[in-house]
Amino acid sequence: MEISEVRIKLMNDPHERLLAFCSITFDVSFVIRDLKIIQGAKGAFVAMPSRKLMDRCPKCHTKNHLRASFCNQCGVRLDENRADKDDAGRARLYADIAHPINSDCRELIQEEVLKAYQEEKISAQQEGYVCRYDDFGEEDFARLGPYEEDYEETPLSQSPASESTHIRKNNQVFRIDSAESDSDRSRPHHTAADQPSPNKVSSNENEAGGKGDAFGSGIV
């Protein structure tokens, strides 16, 4: 069996133990994805793709991972230390999906993967570097739902005098006025010219005086 290709996806956080993801191809025929390169106490090592082990809630029978303190469905409290222990006393929380069954195969995989990892770090420093690892768009941003994608909060216009802002939402334009300043609050809403005075005449008086021809004459 020959490892014909190794693809590496480097992680950007230098403070995390997870250094990279990788995929390996055997004999140009079979691919295993989601291997992890992890920084251990004695150096980097390769971890096989795995899944979280789960058990069922005794009350509602819903599956929960072994570290869950409460059931995800009914909320009943669960024992956090219910996972089985290995020979070293560590809880068994994961199960390998694919793994070598002898030490020779494991050493071959680790040697080839770590070699490709070092080469990928050098390539990543070069201009125009492109990662060849296929993550199936898992790093892309999701599309918005039908009611969210129409939302666009972009100022269309703003008047310095009124300090109002217009935004577009669901193909409609809304105006948002800023809060009144102290000078605006102290200013009366109606000027003296708008207030009724004894000198103004009613429409009946204008008609009697022959001055009621204009539209709206006498309206206060």
CATH class belonging to 3-49+97-124:
alpha beta
pTM: 0.55
**114 and 68 in contact (C-beta within 8 Å)?**
no
Q: What tokens does 6 get?
A: 């190794």
pLDDT tens for the 220 residues of the chain, in order: 899 999 999 998 878 899 999 999 999 999 999 999 999 999 999 999 999 999 999 999 999 999 999 999 999 999 988 998 888 888 889 999 999 999 999 999 999 999 999 999 999 998 888 888 876 666 667 777 776 655 555 454 454 544 566 666 555 666 666 665 555 555 555 555 555 555 544 444 444 444 445 444 444 4
**76 and 57 in contact (C-beta within 8 Å)?**
yes
Pick from 37, 45, 6, 47: nearest CA to 131: 6
Q: Which regions of the chain carry the CATH code 3.30.1120.40?
A: 3-49+97-124
Start-end of H helices in the chain: 103-124, 182-186, 203-209
